[in-house]
Chain A
Amino acid sequence: MAPKTVQQLDDRKPGMVTRKESELRLEFLNQVMDIPGGEKINRCIQCGTCSGSCPVSYAMDVQPRELIALFRAGLIEKILQSRSIWICASCYQCTSRCPSSIKVTDIIYALKRIAMERKIYPDKFPVYALSAKFVDNVNRYGRNFELGLMMQFYLKTDLMRLFRMAPMGFKLMKLGRISIAPKRIRALEDIRKIIAKADTFAVPRETHKKEYIEGMIGYRAVDGEVPDSGGVQR
């Protein structure tokens, strides 16, 4: 199914969201409630301290404050299509300054996870690929292989930059600051077992109190019930 345009999303009747949106909302809330203190998201006073403190908000199409406003408005899909969540550098400045103790950075991590899971990405913006490659690397070697990660990422996304960076790469290599081969850990099998088991606990799952979800969702799905939630009906 083609993703809904912003226009289509904005045309909904008040109090109603599409089925996909209510699914995303449920998934989002499940993710956010997993963060210690995550429930504080409903205390946002829209003061904008987060956006004003963020060193990269100038490059974001949706400001950190607006992320929370869009969540409240039932427009999670729009957040996931924005570049902002991928521009976040995880510097925790917003989190450390928020007067309502909202874990903005962790909320952005949650949004990234949903975007990865659902494959909802901003147009022509392959940044998420770095996270995917990184995870790949760790699963394969148990450690991050800096050189391999960079090569794989640029080959996929930005060949030109690979050429531009090459002279610097050679200088670093001469100085012995690049290792040419990945370092594998010995207990790779262990890592794989841990990952496989941990993966079975992946959200979304029915973990949080139903009333809570109901209170936080407050929207009805327009094209059908959301499976298992029970909480989307008002």
Chain B
Amino acid sequence: MNYTYYPGCSLEASADSYDKSLKSVFSDLGLGLSEIVDWNCCGATAYMSVKETVSLAISARNLALAEKAGLDIVAPCSACYTVLAKTHKIMAEKSQLFDHVNSALSQVGLSYNLGCRVRHPLDVLVNDVGIEAIAQKAKVSLKGLKIAQYYGCQIVRPYATFDDAENPVTMDKLFEALGAESVYYPNKVRCCGGMLMFTFADVALKLTDELLRCAQENGADVILTTCPMCQANLDMHMDELQQSYGHSYTIPTLFFTELLGVAMGSSISQMGIDKHLVPLAANVAKLLETKI
């Protein structure tokens, strides 16, 4: 199976390991990814806050470029995923905006005719490949690993396309099939604060504090995430959390593709897990290095 790939800006910088691990997992499973040539920023939440039609038009440029290939687009960043899906949906539902966006795109010889399906890699892995098929290829057993499965907000909201908006389970099932245990984690779809970490740090720190505490108290060894923003917020602010709340956390937050990659035989460093600020505990690292 082949897909068009939209990495998004974070995967080029802070979430580089998400990009690498995703590509590695996809190629191990025989899935093709071809990156959209010269893609641009989707606009994230910020562009929508300033100009509506413009933000839809720049986001639609990516859809227009992807449409030519006629394949589903894989967008790993939750924000990109939602923004691209939303652009498609708004254009499908509001004919006036469809016309306006296409009129803007026609300036550079492009058009978007609603021919793309925007997919999250978790959806592709679980629904196109299948949990069984993935489990058969596993080279490392995750038995004994306790995971807090953190989905965050934008992959299930506002469009709950492949999983439930309040209690998603696809990631739980995937890693349980590989031997891991999902701990009780009622915060699985709670917001990490996103961009508030820049603008209103106190609020975002409180949210990340709750997410980390819940995971640590429930005995998780790692938190798994599907979003670069969540990973950054949960990984990078330990010093500030110590200063603000006096709480110290030792729980690392990994991209789900990193752990999947390790389970399929790649090393911890190949998957970029050593690039996170919070390191894996020694016993966890040992478990992940033990091949079946």
Contact = CB atoms under 8 A, between A and B. Distances in A.
Given A194-B107, A198-B57, A36 B191 contact: no
Given A89-B195, A146-B9, A199-B53, A95 B157 contact: yes
Q: Which of B16, B93, B191 has the most CB of A within 10 A?
A: B191
B9 A144 contact: yes
B119 to A, nearest CB: 18
Nearest to A60: B203
A224 B101 CA distance: 35
Contact of B14 (A146, A201, A207): A146
A116 interface: yes
A177 to B, nearest CB: 5
A178 B10 CA distance: 10
A116 B49 contact: yes
A190 B234 CA distance: 37
Grouping DSSP codes into helix (H, G, I), strand (E, B) and loop, the B interface class, with mixed when no group exceeds half, is helix
Interface in A168-226: 168, 171-172, 175-179, 183, 185-187, 190-191, 193-199, 201-203, 207
Contacts of B105: 194
Contacts of A10: none
Interface residues of B, number: 70
A52 to B, nearest CB: 13
Interface in B100-121: 100-101, 103-105, 107-108
Interface in B201-216: 201-204, 207
A112 B158 contact: no
B203 A138 contact: no
A105 interface: yes
A197 B107 CA distance: 8
A131 B49 CA distance: 7
B50 A113 contact: yes
B245 interface: no
A92 B46 CA distance: 15
Contacts of A45: none
A55 B100 contact: no
A227 interface: no
A167 B277 CA distance: 12
B162 to A, nearest CB: 15
A34 B101 contact: no
Nearest to B101: A198
B43 interface: yes
Contacts of A134: 44, 46-47
B50 A116 contact: yes
Interface in B259-290: 275-277
Contacts of A142: 40-41
A34 B52 contact: yes
A56 interface: yes
A202 B58 CA distance: 14
A164 interface: yes
Nearest to B46: A134
A71 interface: no
Contacts of B236: 168, 172
A82 interface: no
B195 A130 contact: yes
Given A91-B153, A144-B44, A176-B275, A193 B199 contact: no
Given A127-B199, A142-B41, A55 B154 contact: no
A36 B90 contact: yes
A86 to B, nearest CB: 7
Given A171-B277, A185-B38, A191-B40, A96 B50 contact: no
Contacts of A161: 201
Interface string B155-170: 0011010000110000
B68 interface: no
A89 B108 contact: no
Contacts of B158: 92, 95-96, 103, 105
Contacts of A130: 46, 195, 198-199
Contacts of A95: 157-158
B190 interface: yes
A90 B45 contact: yes
A93 interface: yes
Contact of B89 (A36, A89, A146, A186): A36
Task: List the 8 shortest-distance A-B pairs measured between CB atoms, nearest first.
Answer: A91-B191, A134-B46, A92-B157, A198-B57, A36-B93, A91-B153, A198-B104, A112-B49
7 contacts: A59-B203, A89-B194, A93-B153, A116-B50, A134-B46, A172-B236, A195-B57
